[in-house]
Amino acid sequence: MGNNNYPFKLIPLPYAYDALEPFIDKQTMQLHHDKHLQTYVSNLNEALNNYPQFHHWTLEQLIYYSNQLPKTIRRAVINNGGGIYNHNLFFAGLQNGGQMNSASAPNLIKAINSRFGSFDAFKDEFKKHATSVFGSGYTWLVAEKCGNIQIVNTKNQDTVIPYNLFPIILIDIWEHAYYLKYHNIRSDYVDNFLKILNPTQAESNFNKILT
């Protein structure tokens, strides 16, 4: 996910548009990936078009070192670069039928049990955060380099990159992520999101801090 630079391309969904039914509907996935994410990709490329000195920078570098970008494009890069980074992580983190447990995600479940007491207690806490975001943003399970894990919220298309936090699980709580199916009932969307976590992806994200 991180080896990319200008011109950025739309990464295909790693499954069919209807693969997450009935938890996330096909039309939402089509719009979310083909329209919303495509717009972030197009807008980031447009912002960088006239700045060849940044064409070899990765998405993570553009976000982490955004204070080195000209002011004229800084906000566009943060918003649209963040949009790409967040959505690629979000889509990769979902799997219909994924069973998160100590067999599928041993290191992560151990850390979750140690921090929250149990996986169910983690889900309760995650849901509290996700339902409390005011406006658009994300709720994340993140790790510090030392291995401590915590739940945090971010606004808009902000990422956790500037805080030196490593993403493990994230939920998109912009209304475009759920409104067609769930309307204003965000809590049902969060409950169903937690049923379709991709354990292999989450474990792999967590293990990156151990290497």
Note the residues at the interface with Mn ion (CB under 5 A): 172, 174, 177
Q: CA–CA separation, 82 vs 10, rounded Å?
A: 14
38: left (phi over 0), alpha (psi -120 to 50) or beta: alpha
- The distance of Cα 59 from the centroid of its chain, to the nearest Å, equals 14
* CB nearer to Mn ion: pick between 69 and 171: 171
Question: Which amino acid, residue 50?
Answer: N
- Name the minimum Å distance from CB 30 to Mn ion: 13
Of 36 and 74, the one with the shorter C-beta distance to Mn ion is 36
The residue (of 122 and 174) whose beta carbon lies closer to Mn ion is: 174
Of 160 and 177, which CB lies nearer to Mn ion in the complex structure? 177
- Supply the minimum distance, in Å, between the C-beta of residue 24 and Mn ion: 11
Position closest to Mn ion via CB: 172
Least distance (Å) from Mn ion to the CB of residue 159?
Answer: 13
The torsion region of residue 44 among left (phi > 0), alpha (psi -120 to 50) and beta comes to alpha
Amino acid identity for residue 73 in this structure:
I
How near is the Cβ of 109 to Mn ion at its closest, in Å? 27
DSSP reduced 3-state for 130: helix
Q: How far apart are CA 118 and CA 103, in angstroms?
A: 15
Longest dimension (CA), the chain: 51
**In terms of residues, how long is the chain?**
211
Structure tokens of 141? Answer: 């399970």
Q: 33 or 115: whose CB is closer to Mn ion?
A: 33
Tell the smallest beta-carbon distance from residue 174 to Mn ion (Å).
5
